[in-house]
Amino acid sequence: MDDASRTEFTVEDATLASGVAPEKVQHLLTAFSCDENERNTSFTGLSEINITNFRPILKMRGGSYILPQHFSLLEAIYETPFFWMTQDAAYRPRASTNRGRFTESFVAGRLEAIFGTTRVLRNVEIYKGKNRFTEADVLVLYGDRAIVV
């Protein structure tokens, strides 16, 4: 890929640009691309699943690929493996728990870096009267403001 603005590329282009073996490049492209026959039939409204969120690369006739929006691939690489893991019914509960733990820990860490550890509280139970109402996984108290995650 000699032109950074070029959106159409081949396995060979991606291999040369990345230094990654062609087989690995092909696996990644297969996992994150829609082929020419994909019709996105599950996308029937704005709140429905859009397959291009999980497979943002378009495979063209002749073997080339198009990535219309670079950020879409980065987002898919982050999000999609969780859905692959939940296809295993036995592992599904653990995958969900681990995703929640990771998200909580990551968010708390980023907020602590900004607001300091003394202002960021984790797993705060919130009561309505004497009854437990909900839990804030992460709560930031800063001046007269509260950020609840």
**What b/e string do you get for 10-37 counting C-beta neighbours within 10 Å, with b at 16 or more?**
bbebbbeeeeeeeeebeebbeebbbeee
**What does the pLDDT read at residue 35?**
77
Number of folded domains in the chain? 2
| 82-123 per-position pLDDT tens digit | 888 888 999 999 998 998 899 899 999 999 999 999 999 999
Assess whether 65 and 114 both reside in one domain: no
State the Cα–Cα distance between residues 49 and 5, nearest whole angstrom.
Answer: 29
Assess whether 62 and 130 both reside in one domain: no
List the domain range (segments joined by +) for residue 61: 8-85
Q: Has residue 3 got a pLDDT over 70?
A: no
Using only C-alpha atoms, the chain has a radius of gyration, in whole angstroms, of 21
